[in-house]
């Protein structure tokens, strides 16, 4: 039923976007360009922090995470698969969303993943839009490569860059994988090929500054005059008309939000939720759309039962191994341990926007297929186990998703993990060590991290109260599916193969230390690798899937036009709509899906305008 309380905003908008995160900023930009006569309102809980030094400086991304001025500071419930650890999940609390606080790496999905989503999870009517061919321009449009002399021109897009100069470890990354028989694959949105790549980071090399959604998309849109941004507001819920349309669907009339303690209603012809993987399902549930069990427990009346809301939560877990390298191999360990070197880096950045703080931490990645890891017999053993688990799955949605993952496992070219290089030590097992154990150890390290590409484990994020001030209950259920552990363990063995190859062996310090400290020796067996995971696995901060774009009978929340099932004028577009997590960092897919969302909306608006002209 429509709300009878709250102050009515005197203005009405064609579109209200809930959230000013990565997807919302891009959508606002494209709609304001292509529909100049349409008025757009963007509601954001955080602030628009223009010219903020912490946000602009690439090397300070770690300082933003955990700071409530920039981060929602969310966390999971204790995770049984990770020895009961509570896992923090930074999410951007400012215009630009998480693109304004993340660590910059740009990793693209592969064609096969995109095609399978279109073919296996969507109806026929959505396949042309969401196939790899239909999405190619969307992946190309949102970014441009810059260097110190080239600022990327005037296009409204994210500025990216390659490293200004490769250091010793980065130069050795490609040869290490060539020793395994794999040359460098394509770095952009393309068909899969295993091997090492040097990727871009979302940094404007001409300025030495972070490039994020608010600077690239939102600020130009605001300058055009048909976009309004309201910050510091808390979105309560969507308000629907008391009567349903002729098609039986709910029709949204307005968004209820709180601004400095005052409740307001703003009306819109269409509402687009872009509040993120945790925020968008929360708004739907508070609005009466979701599982009747969840809504009943939270004392929210059910307007449309949609059990998939808040379900299907996925994330990339990673686990790393480190070797101590020779003293003459430059790494970042000395800087991490030395306040003097950190001050010198800060002074250099202040003078010229160059040096360590002008760079992202990771440019060296690899797409590692299962066939890189095992003998044919070992591969077939895991493929057989996968088939058995698939046959036992009774839920249609999970069965369809697992079949998609199975295809990647069976492919000799598709990544079952994305692997990347860090030029420093990495300690994720401190909680398991005696109190007082130092956070860092002496020495100079190369760390190789395996990130499980397509986990089978699924979690959830749900409200427990109708109050907008209460955070959702987040459960990832990491490593709850046994196949995740089996695939992950094999990728740790691949890291050992890299370390024993000629390239890394020539860099390794004789009798040098090994990390993690909870396993200070080479990993020799699958059993040892399995044992490392609960202690040392960590998140890559890539949550997605809670408002999945899938058929409704599969547990989907939005259809192929990103409309929420059961509604006529509510859409979702952010990381929550990704039905199956892509192989690498998810931001490239989020931007591309936002490009497609804008494309679909503009197409629908222009079709409606054409019909109106014909009728007159």
Token duo for residue 457? 């484990």
Kindly tell me if the per-residue pLDDT of 10 is higher than 80.
no
Which residues sit opposite 313 in a β-bridge?
459
The DSSP annotation for 336-383 comes to HH-HHHHHHHHHHHHHHS-SGGGS-S--EEEEEEGGGTS-HHHHHHHH
φ, ψ of residue 461 to 5 degrees: the values are -145, 115
Q: DSSP string of 542-602?
A: --B-TT-BS-GGGT-SB-TT-BBTTBSSEEE-SGGG-SS--SS-THHHHHHHHHHHHHHHH
Distance CA 256, CA 237 (A): 5
Q: How confident is the model at residue 1 (pLDDT cuts 50, 70, 90)?
A: very low
Res 379 pLDDT > 80: no
Q: What is the token pair recorded at 451? A: 């990130």
Residue ranges at the known binding site for FAD: 98
- Asked if pLDDT for residue 462 goes beyond 70, the answer is yes
pLDDT above 50 (res 576): yes
Which tokens go with 267? 């009306």
Q: Which two tokens stand for residue 584?
A: 């690498």
Residue 386's pLDDT is 85
Average pLDDT over residues 321-349: 95
CA distance 95 to 26: 12
Please give the Cα distance from 244 to 303 (Å, whole number). Answer: 11
pLDDT of 7 above 80: no
Q: From CA 8, how far away is CA 3, in angstroms rounded?
A: 11
Residue 455 has pLDDT above 70, yes or no: yes
**166 contacts: CB under 8 Å, gap ≥ 6:** 198
The domain segmentation of the chain, as residue ranges, is 7-615
Model confidence at 248, in pLDDT bands (50, 70, 90)? confident
Please give the pLDDT value at position 380. 80
With bands split at pLDDT 50, 70 and 90, how would you rate the model's confidence at 401? very high
For the residues 221-241, what does the mean pLDDT come to? 97
**394 vs 475, higher pLDDT:** 475
User: What residues are paired with 572 via a beta bridge?
Assistant: 273
Tell me what pLDDT residue 8 has. Answer: 64
C-alpha 412/C-alpha 279 separation (Å) is 37
Backbone angle region of 73, left / alpha / beta, with phi > 0 → left and psi within -120 to 50 → alpha: left
Sign of CA dihedral 104, 110, 113, 116: positive
pTM value? 0.96
Write the pLDDT tens digit of every residue in 546-559: 999 999 999 999 99
Q: Among 160, 163, 166, which Cα is nearest to 203's?
A: 160
Contact 173, 198 (CB under 8 A): yes
- Give yes or no for residue 370 having a pLDDT over 90: no
What is the reported pLDDT for 2? 37
Specify the pLDDT at position 3: 38
Tokens representing 522 are 């080479």
For residue 321, give the H/E element and its range.
Answer: strand 317-324
Q: Is the pLDDT of residue 428 over 60?
A: yes
Residue 362 β-bridge partners: none
**3-class DSSP state for residue 432?**
helix
Q: How confident is the model at residue 381 (pLDDT cuts 50, 70, 90)?
A: confident
Share of the chain above pLDDT 90, in %: 84
Residues 63-108: tens digit of each pLDDT: 999 999 999 999 999 999 999 999 999 999 999 999 999 999 999 9
Is residue 142 predicted with pLDDT exceeding 50?
Answer: yes
Give the number of residues written for the chain.
Answer: 616
CA torsion sign, 130 to 132 to 133 to 138?
A: positive
Confidence (pLDDT) at 382: 82
Share of the chain above pLDDT 70, in %: 98
Average pLDDT score over the chain:
94
Q: Is 281 helix (H, G, I), strand (E, B) or coil?
A: helix
More confident position, 544 or 387: 544
Q: Which residues are annotated binding-site positions? A: 98
Show the tokens assigned to 249: 């669907």
DSSP helix/strand/coil, 404: helix
DSSP character string of 204-266: ETTTTEE--HIIIIIHHHHHHSSEEEEESEEEEEEEE-SS--TTS-B-EEEEEEEETTEEEEE
Pairing of strands 364-369, 415-422: antiparallel
Decide: 579 and 126 in contact? Cβ < 8 Å.
no
Tell me the fold of 7-615.
FAD/NAD(P)-binding domain (3.50.50)
Cis peptide before 13 (omega within 30 of 0): no
What is the DSSP annotation of 88-144?
EE--B-BTTGGGGTS--B----BHHHHHHIIIIIS-GGGHHHHSHHHHHHHHHHTEE
């Amino acid at each position: 039923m429509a709300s009878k309380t709250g102050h009515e905003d005197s203005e009405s908008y064609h579109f209200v976007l809930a959230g000013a995160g990565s997807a919302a900023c891009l959508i606002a930009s494209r709609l304001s360009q292509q529909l100049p006569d349409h008025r757009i309102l963007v509601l954001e809980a955080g602030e628009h922090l223009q010219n903020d030094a912490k946000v602009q400086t690439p090397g300070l991304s770690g300082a933003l995470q955990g700071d409530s001025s920039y981060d929602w500071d969310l966390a999971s419930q204790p995770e049984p698969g990770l020895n009961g650890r509570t896992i923090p999940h930074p999410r951007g609390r400012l215009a630009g969303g998480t693109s304004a606080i993340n660590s910059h790496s740009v990793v693209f999905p592969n064609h096969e993943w995109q095609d399978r989503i279109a073919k296996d999870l969507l109806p026929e009517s959505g396949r042309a839009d969401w196939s790899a061919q239909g999405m190619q321009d969307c992946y190309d449009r949102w970014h441009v490569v810059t260097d110190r002399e080239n600022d990327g021109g005037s296009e409204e897009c994210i500025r990216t860059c390659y490293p200004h100069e490769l250091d010793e470890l980065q130069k050795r990354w490609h040869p290490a994988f060539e020793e395994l028989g794999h040359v460098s694959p394509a770095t952009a949105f393309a068909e899969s090929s295993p091997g090492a790549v040097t990727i871009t980071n979302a940094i404007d090399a001409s300025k030495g500054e972070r490039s994020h959604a608010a600077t690239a998309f939102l600020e130009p849109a605001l300058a055009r005059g048909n976009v309004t941004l309201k910050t510091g507001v808390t979105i309560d819920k969507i308000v629907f008309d008391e009567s349903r349309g002729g098609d039986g669907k709910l029709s949204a009339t307005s968004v209820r939000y709180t601004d400095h303690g005052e409740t307001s209603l703003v009306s819109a012809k269409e509402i687009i939720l872009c509040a993120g993987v945790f925020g968008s399902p929360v708004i739907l549930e508070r609005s009466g759309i979701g599982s009747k069990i969840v809504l009943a427990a939270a004392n929210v009346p059910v307007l449309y039962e949609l059990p998939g809301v808040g379900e299907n939560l996925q994330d990339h877990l990673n686990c790393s191994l480190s070797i101590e390298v020779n003293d003459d191999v430059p790494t970042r360990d000395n800087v991490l341990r030395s306040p003097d070197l950190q001050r010198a880096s800060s002074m250099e950045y202040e003078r010229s926007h160059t040096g360590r703080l002008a760079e992202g931490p990771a440019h060296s990645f690899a797409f590692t297929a299962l066939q890189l890891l095992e003998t044919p017999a070992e591969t077939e053993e895991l493929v057989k186990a996968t088939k058995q688990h698939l046959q036992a799955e009774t839920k249609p949605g999970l069965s369809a998703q697992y079949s998609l993952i199975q295809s990647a496992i069976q492919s000799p070219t598709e990544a079952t993990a994305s692997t990347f290089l860090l030029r420093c030590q990495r300690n994720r097992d401190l909680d398991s060590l005696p109190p007082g154990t130092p956070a860092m150890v002496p020495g100079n390290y190369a760390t190789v991290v395996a990130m499980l590409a397509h986990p089978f484990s699924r979690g959830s994020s749900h409200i427990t109260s109708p109050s907008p001030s209460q955070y959702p209950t987040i459960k990832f259920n990491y490593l709850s599916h046994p196949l995740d552990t089996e695939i992950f363990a094999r990728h740790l063995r691949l890291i050992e193969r890299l370390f024993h190859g000629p390239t890394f062996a020539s860099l390794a310090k004789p009798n040098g230390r090994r990390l993690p400290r909870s396993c200070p020796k080479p990993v020799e067996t699958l059993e040892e690798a399995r044992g490392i995971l609960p202690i040392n696995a960590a998140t890559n901060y890539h949550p997605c899937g809670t408002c999945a774009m899938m058929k409704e009978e599969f547990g989907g929340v939005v259809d192929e036009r990103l409309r929420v099932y059961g509604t006529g004028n509510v859409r979702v577009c952010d990381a929550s709509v990704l039905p199956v997590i892509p192989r690498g960092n998810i931001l490239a897919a989020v931007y591309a899906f936002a490009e497609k969302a804008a494309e679909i909306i503009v197409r629908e608006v222009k079709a409606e305008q054409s019909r109106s002209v014909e009728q007159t």
